[in-house]
Amino acid sequence: MNSVTDTRATASSAAIAVEEAHTAHNYHPLEVVVAHGEGAWLTDVEGRKYLDCLAAYSAVNFGHGHPLLVAAAKAQLDRITLTSRAFHNDQLGPFAAALAQLAGKDMVLPMNTGAEAVESGIKVARAWGYRVKGVKPNQAKIIVMDGNFHGRTTTIISFSNDDQARADFGPFTPGFVSVPYGDAAALEAAIDENTVAVLVEPIQGEAGILIPPADYLPRVRAITTKHNVLFIADEIQSGLGRTGATFQCDNSNVIPDLYLLGKALGGGIVPVSAVVGNADILGVLHAGEHGSTFGGNPLAAAVGLAVVKLLATGGPQERARVLGERLQGGIRSLIGHGVIAVRGAGLWVGVDIDPAIGTGRAVCEKLMERGVLVKDTHGSTIRFAPPIVATVDDLDFAVAQLEAVLKEMAL
């Protein structure tokens, strides 16, 4: 190693060492220390460039440092950033109105993280069940799906099937029943007079980008309507352009009662989440029953409004659809060459690696060495979700690197 390389390696390992020493070890990051991002590309502390094929789990759908989003944030930073909801601010109304219009709904409950949107949706559904549907006190039941991922709070992990997410974190919150994902008959059989809602990811992202049968979401809609049960779509990862539509539900021509949104709603700049629905449901909440100091803050609202304006053009959705075909086609060509299955919707692709070749993590590490950052899930699956601003050349580069890594590992 010459002295220049020495200094570079030192910068990276020093940054990792200090982080490891002073943060809880609840993640197992790849050994790359990012210092800069622009569009679909990241640069590490040693000046190496990487194509970002994770986009912060779809929070960076519009790319790093999108000029319109950064401009909205910078302008708002100079005005006012936080008031709490004890006072009104002049950004929340326009943001909520625009988001409600984008979703074709009446109103918005603004929060910060995805898990908070899920928690809020659960509370709204329970209150609706007692106050509108007439469910007996404390009997409300919400149906969830096997393999779900909705976040990390104690209530949310109460209905996870992932042992690692639950171990040693009980006791758990009651009131949830889990049924197989994609099985509409099992869902209907689980409904009783206490059921207030069905909570479903239109595509299960963390489970490996699992796409249910084409008639599943329409059947969920029909069943929930028939039994007077709310249909809550967690579009925190699937929504806002990623799958080639504003919402993945759009791809099935389905309108849920409540959308749960997060991640990309904050433009990769600030945490912004929301529950979006009509007044007959969200209107059940009264003052003092729910809230968050940061929810609906002016900085978040200004960035959120800029995100909604971007999506209202339809441009990101169309780009994700067209580029998605390119990326999916490229990765599908590797089936039989180290890839055993590919599932995709728009620019969101789950790739099952042949376990005989190596783990998903090993593939991610080798891709990192070749300038592509991706993340594994569930052992041998990796997912590609590059920012929608990526170019055709970027996607072809990612596929070429994957092909090279698989060849290398098969040797």
Residues that bind ligand PLP (CB under 6 A): 57, 113-115, 118, 149-151, 201, 205-206, 234, 236-237, 262
Choosing from 62, 95, 149, 247, the catalytic residue is 149
Cβ at position 256, least distance to ligand PLP in Å: 13
Cβ at position 112, least distance to ligand PLP in Å: 8
Cβ at position 206, least distance to ligand PLP in Å: 6
Adjacency order of strands within the sheet including 273-277: 107-111, 273-277, 258-261, 230-234, 195-200, 141-145, 176-179
Which is nearer to ligand PLP, 121 or 330 (by Cβ)? 121
The whole-angstrom separation of Cα 143 and Cα 364 is: 35
Which is nearer to ligand PLP, 204 or 401 (by Cβ)? 204
Sort strands 273-277 and 258-261 into parallel, antiparallel or unpaired.
Answer: antiparallel
CB-based contacts of 299: which residues, under 8 Å, 6+ apart?
73, 76, 77, 81, 82, 91, 270
Choosing from 44, 234, 257, 394, the catalytic residue is 234
211: amino acid identity, one letter: I
**Quick one: which H or E segment has residue 344?**
strand 339-344
Cβ at position 178, least distance to ligand PLP in Å: 15
Which is nearer to ligand PLP, 239 or 330 (by Cβ)? 239
Position closest to ligand PLP via CB: 114
CA 386 to the chain's CA centroid: 13
DSSP 232: E
Which is nearer to ligand PLP, 117 or 310 (by Cβ)? 117
The verdict on whether 149 is a catalytic residue reads: yes
Which is nearer to ligand PLP, 89 or 237 (by Cβ)? 237
Cβ at position 5, least distance to ligand PLP in Å: 36
CA angle 187–190–193, rounded 5-degree value: 120
CA angle 381–384–388, rounded 5-degree value: 160
Cβ at position 117, least distance to ligand PLP in Å: 7
Contact 240, 261 (CB under 8 A): yes
The whole-angstrom separation of Cα 227 and Cα 233 is: 17
Contact 57, 263 (CB under 8 A): yes
Sort strands 195-200 and 230-234 into parallel, antiparallel or unpaired.
Answer: parallel
The verdict on whether 263 is a catalytic residue reads: yes
Which is nearer to ligand PLP, 270 or 334 (by Cβ)? 270
Which is nearer to ligand PLP, 188 or 235 (by Cβ)? 235
Which is nearer to ligand PLP, 76 or 273 (by Cβ)? 273
Cβ at position 136, least distance to ligand PLP in Å: 29
The verdict on whether 49 is a catalytic residue reads: no
The dihedral region occupied by 124, where left means phi > 0, alpha psi between -120 and 50, and beta the remainder, is alpha
Choosing from 52, 159, 176, 263, the catalytic residue is 263
Cβ at position 149, least distance to ligand PLP in Å: 5
Contact 132, 280 (CB under 8 A): yes
| Cβ contacts of 252-256, under 8 Å, gap ≥ 24 | 252/202, 252/214, 252/216, 252/217, 252/218, 253/218, 254/217, 254/218, 254/220, 254/221, 255/104, 255/221, 256/221, 256/231, 256/232
Sort strands 349-353 and 381-384 into parallel, antiparallel or unpaired.
Answer: antiparallel
Contact 208, 344 (CB under 8 A): no
Catalytic residues: 149, 234, 263
